[in-house]
Amino acid sequence: MAGTTASAKPKWACIDGNEAAARVAHALSEVIAIYPITPASPMGELSDTWSAAGRPNLWGSVPEVIEMQSEAGAAGALHGALQKGALATTFTSSQGLLLMVPNMFKIAGELTSAVMHVAARAVATHALSIFGDQSDVMAVRTTGWAMLCASSVQEAHDFALIAHSATLRTRVPFLHFFDGFRTSHEIDKIELLDDDDLRALVREADVLEHRARGLTPDRPVLRGSAQNPDVYFQAREAVNPFYDAVPPTVTEVMEELASLTGRRYGLVDYVGAPDAERVVVVMGSAAGAVAETVEELGRRGEKVGLLTVRLYRPFPADALVASLPKTTRAVAVLDRTKEPGSPGEPLYLDVSASLAEAGRLPETLIGVRYGLASKELSPGMVKGVFDDLGNPARGRHLTVGIRDDVTHRSLEPDPEFALPTAAVQAVFYGLGADGTVGANKSSIKIIGEGTDSYVQAYFVIDSQKAGSVTVSHLRFGPDPIRSTYLIEKADFVACHQFGLLEKMKVLDVARDGSTFLLNSPYSATETWPHLPVEVQQQIIDKHIRFYVVDAHSLAREVGLGGRINTIMQPCFFHLSGVMPQSEVVPRVKDTIDKAYSKRGRAVVERNYAAVDRALESLSEVAVPDVPAGDLHRMPPPPDAAPEFVKRVTARLIAGEGDLLPVSAMPVDGTFPTGTAKWQKRQIALDMPVWDPSLCIDCGKCAVVCPHTAIRMKIYRPDALKGAPTGFQSKPYRSRDLPDRLLTVQVLPDDCTGCGLCVAICPAHSKTEVKHKSLDMEPVDSRRETERPLWEFFDSIPEVPREEVRHDNVRGVALLEPLFEFSGACAGCGETPYLKLLSQLFGDRMIVANATGCSSIYGGNLPTTPWSVDRHGRGPAWSNSLFEDNAEFGLGLRLGWERQNAEARRLVDEWRELIGEELADALLDADQSNETGVTSQREHVERLKEMLDRSGAASGPALRSLSSLADELVEKVVWIVGGDGWAYDIGFGGLDHVLASGRNVNILVLDTEVYSNTGGQASKATPRGAAAKFAASGKPSSKKDLGAVARNYGTVYVAQVALGGSDIQTVRSLLEAVAWPGPSLVIAYSSCIAHGIDMSTSLDQQKAAVASGYWPLYRFHPSPEPGTTPFQLDSKAPTVPVADFALAETRFSMLAQSHPGHSRHLLALAQADADERWRYYEQLAGVTRSLPREAAPEPEPEPGENDTGEAT
C-alpha cells in the first residue's frame, strides 16, 4: 500500500488472508464451486458457512456453494456456471490449481469474466509440501488468466475486489493469489470494504453484459467449436485487444478504489530511495520484509529500493520500467518458485525482458530464489541480497534463506541485522489441540478490535497429526505491521506445555529482560529444579522475569479437562500490560461468550470460572543466581542409530532442519524407512501395564494398537537369560508351539495413551471386574521401569514367520510389525489396518499411498513409521498424488510383472546353465503361503550365488537376470488411501484399475469424511452426519463403493471393521492378496472427525456392525458353477442405527441443533440400513460364477487339414 488517507468511519476487523479474500468473493458470486485443499480450504468453508446461514451476496441472493469431487470437477462446474452467465468463483491451491489447468485455458480462451482466489503453495515434486510459495501459480501463467498478487491480508481483501471488478470490465479471467500460510493464515487488523465500495467498483452494466453472454436457448449460440488449421491461429490472436486493455483497466479500478478508501495501489509499486542504485523486485508477502529492510537501510544512508509487482499477467512492462529509478545500477529479482533448467525463474525473465526491450538493462541483473515451501525470508536475508548485489563473482542465479554447499549459489544473510520495532512481540509454545492457538487468535482480536493497536498473528504448526508443536507469533503496536517473518526477539514468551522445555529451545527467541510465562505442574517455589539446566541458564543470562501458573490443575478443577486456553490468556494479558487490568477479565469473558455461548451455558460458565481463577494462580518465580538440578534437554539419538538418522533425521527432530545444508538432503526425495523409532514423542499421560496372570494370549491388544506401541513375542525359556528384573512372561498356551513363553511389552516413549488395548482386552480379573490383564497407569510412574524391559524385549528374536498361523488374530499378533510409531492421532482408526498389512505382507509389499492422512503420518518428515525387518526387508512406500493413486499402484504392479516375467524368461532360457532342478524350482514355486515364499527366497539366493560363482553374469542377459533375481519372489502391491481418494477424486482411476483385472490390492481407509483437510463431506459420508459442506446433515446416502466393485464380478471385495470382527479383517486381507485379480477392502476407520472419545472407537465399530450400519461381508468370485460369492459375515442387525449414530458427535450435533431434521435423516439412515441388509441377504443367496476360460482349441496336428483328412 503506497499511501493511506482515512476514509469516513473505517470498519476494522482482525481476520486472516483467506477470510479477507473470501468475504469479497462470497459477496460478488452466485455460484461457488470448490474442493478442499490446504491452505485454501478455509475460503470454501467460510463461504459454505455463510451461505448456510443465509448471508446474501451484493445483490441479495445467497450464493450456491457446491463441493465437487476434485478440483478438476470444480473447474468444470465453474466453467459451466460462467457459460450460463452466472458470476462464479472458486478457491484453490497447488495440485488443485494444476487440475484446473485445462478449464483455465478454456475459460480464458472464451473471454469469460471469472475470478479464482489462490492461496499459493508449493507443488509436489521430490516431496509434497502444503506450505506456501508461488510454484503453483507460476505453473499456470500460460493459461491466459490475468494474475494479480496480494502481498498482505489487507491487499488480499482489496485485490479480491479489484479482480472481480476488472474481470467484468475486461472479460479476461483473473487469478487473484497470495502466499499460502504467510498471508492466507496470518491474522492482521485490516480495514474492511463495505457494500458501497463493492457496488461502486462492480458496475451493474458489466454484470448484465456478462449475464447476457451466457448460453440460453432463447438466444442460442455455439461456443466451444473445433477449428482447423485455416482459422484457429487467427482466432487465437483475436483476443489481443482484450489483454491490451487489462493493465489500464486494473489501474483504473485501483484508482477508483483509492478514491473510495484512500488505499492506493499501482500495477507495480516502488518504495525506497528516489535515487536508488540497488533495487529488489519481488511479488507477494516478501514485500513486507523487503520494505522494512529498505527503510532501515535508507535510514543508514544506503540508496536502495523495492519494486513490488502486483499485476503479474498481463505483465506490466511499461509500468515496471517507469517505476524503476533511473539511477538503478543493480537489480535483484526475487522468485518464490524454481524452474529447473530454465535460464531464470519466471519473474526474473519477465523483468529481464521488460528492461531489455526498454533499453534499461542495469549493470547487474540477478535472480534470487527464496521462500520455497514457506522458508523464511527475514530482514537479515534481504540485507544479504542487497549486500551481495553487484558482486560479479556471485553469478546471476542465486538463492537466499538456505545454505547451498553443493552448487554454492546461496547468498549469506546478515545475522546481526535487526530492525527496530515499536511493536510488542510475543511468542507462545503449545501442543496442537491444547487451545494455545485458539487463545492467541482470540487475544489478537481482543487487542486489535479493543484498542488502537495494529496487530499481527502467525502460527507455525508442525504437521504431525498428534502431539504437534504449535508456535504462535503475535505482534501488536502503534504502527501498521508489515513484518512478514517470524519473531526473532520476543518481549514475551509463554510455554503452555511443560514437557516442551525438554524438547524445544523455547527461550532462544527471548530478548534480554523479557517475560516468560510457564504452565507448570509445580508451584513457584518448586518449579526451578524441574527445569532443564539449559533453560535455567537462559533465564539467568537474559534477566528474564519468570512466572508460573498450574493451568492443567486449574482446568481440571473447573471441569475443562485439558483445555487451558482461558487460563493462559488472562495471564498473558496481565503480564503484557497491553490493556488496563480492569478490562482484561471482562474482555476475555466477552470473547468466551461469543465463542462458546452456542455450546450451552455450562461451557461458558466453566470458562468464566477458569478466567476468574487464573490470575489468583499466577505467581512470579524468584530466579536464583545459578542453575540447580541435573535435568537436560533431550539427548541426541544413540550411537546405534544409522548414520543418516544421526546426520539428518536427528536435526529435523530437534527442530534444526533450517540449518541443514543442501548437501545433507537426498537429491531425489528418497529416504530410509524405519526411522520413527528414533523419534520419541512421549505424548502419553497414561500407559497400559500388563498383568500376565490374567492374560489369555489372544493378541487383540497388539492387533488393535494404532501406534504399534504394545508388542507380543513368544520365545523359548532360554531366551530369558539376562532378562532385567521385572521382565514378565507367562507360559504360551499352544499345542503346536509347546514350551514357549509369552511377553506383552509396552513402549513407554511411543505409546500415546489412547487406551484401545485396555478397551479391547477381554481378560478380566474374576474377583474384581475392573482389573484386566491390561490397566492404564500414569506413564510417569512407569517410564523408567519399562524402558529397559522394552530394550530386552526388543533383543529377543522374532518368531519365525512360518511357525505361527497367519489366519487368526492370535498368530498375526506375533508377526513383526513393519509399521510402527506413526504420528497419527492418538487412537487413529486407520493405522491398525496398515500395521496388519505390514505384519502379513510387509517383507514383500509395495505401497502406493494416496495423499491424505495416511500419506502424512506415513511419509511426513522427519520420520516414517514404515519399517524394515532384520533382513533389511520391508514395505517400499511411495505417494504419487491424491487423484491418481490407483493408477500409480497399477503401474507399480505392471512394472513388477514385467520384471518378474523377464526374470522367468531368462531363467527358462538359461535353464541348462542354472540347472534344471533349480530352474524348475524357481519357475514352479508355489508362493501362496509363507513356507513357499521362504523357499523361493532360498531358490533365489542359490541362483544369485550360482550366477556370481560361475561368473556367468558377465554377459548382458545374465547380468540382467542377476539384477532381476529378487523379482522372482512374489511382490504384493497395496494401493492405500482414504475415502476422499477412493470415493471422490480418485474414483475414476480406481474404477479403471478394478476393471483392469490386474492383480492389485486396494485398501480404502474409510473415515467417511475428508479427515486430513478437516472434516469435509465426501461421497462416503453417511446420511444424517454433519460435516463441512453438509452442515445440515448429509442428505443423501453413502455411496456403496463395494457394489461398484462387485458389479464387475471379477473383483474380490470385502467390507471390514476391526472392532466389528478382527478375524474377518485378517481373513479378508489374506484373501485379497490370494485373489489373482483386483481386490478391494473397505475398512471402517474411526476418526476424531467422528466426534467420539477415541478410547471407545472399537465399541463404536462394534455398534456400527451390530446396527447394520456397516455390514461385514466378503465377495469372493469363483469359476465354480453354483457358488454364492457374496458372504455376509455379520449377523442381522440387533440395535437401531440411531443407537450407534447418536453416540458420535457427527450425528448428534445435528440432533442437538436441528432435532426434527436429525430425526428425519436418521429415520432415512435406518431405512438405508434396513434396505441394504435386505438386499445383502438376498445377495448372499445369489449364485454367480466367473466365466471359465474355455480350454484352448487344440492346434491342428501337422499334416491335418480342416477336414481332418491326411493330405
Partner 1 sequence: MTTLTTRYLGIELRSPIVASAGPLTGHLDTLERLEDSGAAAVVLPSLFEEEVVGESMRLHETLEQGLEQNPETVSYFPDMDFSDLGPERHLRLVEQAKQRLSIPVIASVNAIAPGTWSRYATEMVEAGADAIELNLYAVPNDPSRSAADVEGEYLATLREVRSAVSVPLAVKLSPFFSSTGHFAMCAVDAGADGLVLFNRFYQPDLDLETLDVVPELELSHSWELRLPLRWIAILRGRLPRTSLAASTGVYSGADVAKALLVGADVAMMTSALLRHGISRVGLVEQELLDWMQEHDYESVSQLRGSVSQGAVADPTAFERANYIKVISSVRVSPESLT
Peptide bond into 1125 cis (omega under 30): no
DSSP state of 324: S
Cβ count within 10 A of residue 594: 12
Q: How far is the CB of 1056 from partner 1 (least distance, A)?
A: 23
Q: How far is the CB of 1027 from partner 1 (least distance, A)?
A: 7
Q: Are 712 and 900 in contact (CB under 8 A)?
A: no
Q: In the complex with partner 1, which residue's Cβ is closer, 893 or 1146? A: 1146
Picking from 1088, 1087, 1108, the residue whose alpha carbon sits closest to that of residue 1166 is 1108
Of 19, 30, 71, 1144, which residue is the catalytic one? 71
Q: How far is the CB of 1143 from partner 1 (least distance, A)?
A: 10
Q: In the complex with partner 1, which residue's Cβ is closer, 380 or 435? A: 435
Q: How far is the CB of 485 from partner 1 (least distance, A)?
A: 17
Alpha-carbon gap, residue 344 to 337, rounded angstroms? 10
Q: In the complex with partner 1, which residue's Cβ is closer, 608 or 1113? A: 608
Of 38, 90, 527, 863, which residue is the catalytic one? 38
Q: How far is the CB of 603 from partner 1 (least distance, A)?
A: 5
Of 23, 121, 169, 263, which residue is the catalytic one? 121
1145 CB-near residues (< 8 Å, 6+ apart): 1090, 1091, 1092
Residue 197: in which H helix or E strand, if any?
helix 195-201
Phi, psi of 353 (to 5 degrees): -65, -40
Q: In the complex with partner 1, which residue's Cβ is closer, 766 or 949? A: 766
Picking from 527, 497, 372, 505, the residue whose alpha carbon sits closest to that of residue 437 is 497
Q: In the complex with partner 1, which residue's Cβ is closer, 525 or 597? A: 597
Burial of 693: CB neighbours in 10 Å, binned 0-12, 13-18, 19+: exposed
Q: In the complex with partner 1, which residue's Cβ is closer, 413 or 1022? A: 1022
Q: How far is the CB of 38 from partner 1 (least distance, A)?
A: 4
Phi and psi based region of residue 399 (left: phi greater than 0; alpha: psi -120 to 50; beta: remaining): beta
Q: Please, what's the b/e burial string for 711-729 (b: 16 or more CB within 10 A of its CB; e: otherwise)?
A: bbbbbeeebeeebeeebbb
Residue 400: in which H helix or E strand, if any?
strand 397-400
CA 962 to chain centre: 40
The yes-or-no answer on residue 38 being catalytic is yes
Alpha-carbon gap, residue 849 to 862, rounded angstroms? 18
Q: In the complex with partner 1, which residue's Cβ is closer, 312 or 1029? A: 1029
Give the Å distances, CA to CA, from 965 to 440, 903, 962. Answer: 59, 6, 5
Q: In the complex with partner 1, which residue's Cβ is closer, 1157 or 1184? A: 1157
**Alpha helix ranges (H) inside 877-976:** 885-909, 911-914, 916-924, 930-950, 956-964
Q: How far is the CB of 606 from partner 1 (least distance, A)?
A: 7
The three-class DSSP label of residue 649 is helix
Binding site for partner 1 (CB under 8 A): 38-39, 41-42, 45, 48-49, 52, 130-131, 181, 432-433, 435, 437-438, 459, 461-466, 468, 470, 559, 561, 563, 596-603, 606, 764, 769, 825, 856, 1011-1015, 1026-1031, 1088-1089, 1091-1093, 1145-1146, 1148-1149, 1152-1153
Q: In the complex with partner 1, which residue's Cβ is closer, 1031 or 1054? A: 1031
Alpha-carbon gap, residue 994 to 986, rounded angstroms? 12
Rounded to 10 degrees, the C-alpha dihedral 859/864/866/871 comes to 130
Q: In the complex with partner 1, which residue's Cβ is closer, 82 or 437? A: 437
Q: How far is the CB of 877 from partner 1 (least distance, A)?
A: 20
Q: In the complex with partner 1, which residue's Cβ is closer, 559 or 997? A: 559
Alpha-carbon gap, residue 47 to 51, rounded angstroms? 6
Burial of 1129: CB neighbours in 10 Å, binned 0-12, 13-18, 19+: buried
Q: How far is the CB of 767 from partner 1 (least distance, A)?
A: 12
The yes-or-no answer on residue 591 being catalytic is no
Q: How far is the CB of 11 from partner 1 (least distance, A)?
A: 22
Alpha-carbon gap, residue 1011 to 1013, rounded angstroms? 6
Q: How far is the CB of 565 from partner 1 (least distance, A)?
A: 9
The three-class DSSP label of residue 552 is helix
Phi and psi based region of residue 674 (left: phi greater than 0; alpha: psi -120 to 50; beta: remaining): left
The three-class DSSP label of residue 335 is strand
Picking from 987, 995, 1184, 1142, the residue whose alpha carbon sits closest to that of residue 1078 is 995
The yes-or-no answer on residue 170 being catalytic is no
Q: In the complex with partner 1, which residue's Cβ is closer, 593 or 807? A: 593
Amino acid at 997: G
Q: Please, what's the b/e burial string for 419-439 (b: 16 or more CB within 10 A of its CB; e: otherwise)?
A: bebebbbbbbbbbbbbbbbbb
79 CB-near residues (< 8 Å, 6+ apart): 103, 106, 107, 112
Q: How far is the CB of 1013 from partner 1 (least distance, A)?
A: 5
Q: How far is the CB of 1150 from partner 1 (least distance, A)?
A: 8
Q: Rounded to the nearest 10 degrees, what angle do helices 930-950 and 916-924 cross at?
A: 140
Q: In the complex with partner 1, which residue's Cβ is closer, 375 or 606? A: 606
Give the Å distances, CA to CA, from 434 to 354, 462, 550. Answer: 51, 14, 14
Q: Are 1154 and 1033 in contact (CB under 8 A)?
A: yes
Return the C-alpha cell found at 1052.
474380490
Of 18, 1012, 1021, 1050, which residue is the catalytic one? 1012
259 CB-near residues (< 8 Å, 6+ apart): none
For the annotated catalytic residues, the residue numbers are 38, 71, 121, 1012
